[in-house]
Every structure is written in structure tokens, then in C-alpha cells.
Amino acid sequence: MRAISKKFGGVTALENVDLDAYAGEVLAIVGDNGAGKSTLIKILTGVYQPTSGTMEMDGKTFSMSSHSEAIELGIDAVYQTLALADHLDPAANMFLGSELTKSFLGFTYLDNKKMREEAERVLFDRLGVRLKNMDVAAESLSGGQRQAIAIARAVYHSDLRVLVMDEPTAALGPQETARTLKLIEVLKGQGLAIILISHSLDDVFAISDRVHVMRRGRCAGVVKTAESSRQDVLGLIVGATEAA
């Protein structure tokens, strides 16, 4: 993303922001509420269009007018709400809106068997997760299991290149948080570019390669996690440290 700006009427939400993401890397985006994180990510995922600026992948410039176009380009997101239907089972949630079907005697039916098989395959092959029961409603699953289903829905698209994860460990306990961070590590190892939005600097320093700090609609700085401290990042967030 290059020189991205976004205005809502007379309000400037983003001003001249650059962002780089690389395959096989976790890039964390941090900043206070209102710093511009969500607006930047909504532009990256096609929900908003920038007022100015450009985006490119593999050296080719592109633009989007919807989230579905972003998915076609290989960019998707797992939001904090997960967008799961609590009354549906894991497979039905994974294929919600893109159900697999079969035809018999001129009638079209949901192919529940195929969807279950595919859900089990993606959960295990891509994430190393095997649910004990695929017949239960999503509302009865743990937070980490629900997170795994939402991630599996995104990575089911074989051409996925960039996955945005919005506060993936919010409201999770320590064990579930550790499992979710492990899932992110697995996806990173498969060559995805992971963009992690988080308020937890513990998670950021546990999993990310670089940290992109937003402040008042601008990029306050980008640091390598291995060469920085929480104090360095906090300084950029609050403006005590000058941008690099």
C-alpha cells in the first residue's frame, strides 16, 4: 500500500500511509483506538476505497470495489466477531454462503457429506486441528475451536495470499490464546502473509516479525520485533518516540 489516504467528509482518517506485507511473515498493526488501523485494513480488504494512494501485489497495481473482489485477488480477513452462525455446525459455517451442492433427478441438494469431508480436511491439513465432534452447533465450541473454523473458512480458498486477523485472541484464555498463536505460526509456515491487528503486545512480540505502528491516521514507524522492545513500540504509539 502506497500513500494511502482516506477522508470521510471533512475528517481525515488516514494520511499518506505506506504498508508492506511479505509472504511467510507476520506483520502486526498496533495503535490506540482511532489511530486508523481498522480503516487501513478495510481498504486492504476492499470494504472501503481509498481517497488517494495505490496498492500493488507482485509489482502489479490493483484496485477493489468490494470485499469479494479482495477475496478473488487472494486477500481475506478473519474479524474479531468471527461471523459464525451459532446454530450451525462447523462444516455449515465453513461453507456459509458458498455451499457445495449435488444434483439428483433434476433437483439440487446440499452436499452435506462433501462439506463435512472438506471441512475436516482443511481443518487438519491446513491447521492441524481435528474436532472431536463435527455435528455440534458452533455455540457449543470453545473460543479457540470457533477461531479455527473462521480461519479454515478463509484458507479454504487455495489462492489466498494475504490473511488479515483482527484481534484473534480477544476474550480467549491463556491456553486458547496459545493455540490460536500456534495456528498463526502454521499459516505463516505455509507462506501466507499474515497481518495481525492486536492490542496485546505480549501476542505481538510472541508471534510477529515486524510491527507497524499507527498514530492519528499516520504510520508512526515500523520496527523489527527481534530488534525492539515493548517500550519502543509503546513510545511510537503514544508519540514519545519519533518515527524511524
pLDDT at residue 144, rounded to an integer? 86
Residue 54 has pLDDT above 70, yes or no: yes
Distances (CA, A) of 148 to 33, 94, 173: 26, 10, 15
User: pTM of the prediction?
Assistant: 0.88
pLDDT at 244: 47
16-29 pLDDT per residue, tens = 999 999 999 999 99
Please name the residue that has the C-alpha cell 507462506.
191
Within its chain, how far is the Cα of 181 from the centroid? 13
Residue-wise pLDDT tens digits, 180-233: 899 999 999 999 999 999 999 999 999 999 999 999 999 999 999 999 999 999
The CA-atom distances, in angstroms, between 101 and each of 107, 110, 120 are: 10, 4, 17
Average pLDDT of the chain, as a whole number: 91
User: What are the helix (H) ranges across 190-239?
Assistant: 201-207, 230-238
CA distances to 45, 52, 113, 165 from 55, in Å: 11, 10, 40, 19
In sequence order, what E strands does the chain have?
A: 2-8, 11-17, 25-30, 52-57, 60-62, 75-78, 101-104, 107-110, 162-166, 193-197, 210-215, 218-224
Tell me which range, 53-57, 111-115, 125-129, 177-181, is most confidently predicted by mean pLDDT: 53-57
Contact 43, 67 (CB under 8 A): no
Quick one: pLDDT band at residue 173, thresholds 50, 70, 90? Answer: confident
Look at residue 69 in the predicted model and tell me its pLDDT.
93
Q: What is the largest CA-CA distance in the chain?
A: 70
Q: What pLDDT, in 10s, does the model give residues 67-126?
A: 989 999 999 998 877 788 999 999 999 898 888 889 888 899 888 999 999 999 999 998
Q: Kindly compute the dihedral angle of the four CA atoms of residues 46, 48, 51, 57, in this order, to the nearest 10 degrees.
A: -20
Q: How confident is the model at residue 242 (pLDDT cuts 50, 70, 90)?
A: low
Contact assessment for residue 215 and residue 157, using Cβ atoms and an 8 Å cutoff: no
Residues making up the chain, counted from first to last: 244
Give the whole-angstrom CA distance, residue 79 versus residue 40.
Answer: 14
Buried/exposed 208-239: b ≥16 CB within 10 Å, e otherwise: bebbbbbbebbbbbbbebeebeeebbebbbee
Domain boundaries, the chain: 1-74+159-244, 84-157
**218-236 pLDDT tens trace:** 999 999 999 999 999 999 9
CATH of 1-74+159-244, one of 1.10.150.80, 3.30.70.1350, 3.40.718.10, 3.40.50.300: 3.40.50.300
- The yes-or-no verdict on residue 55 having pLDDT over 70 is yes
pLDDT(163) > 60: yes
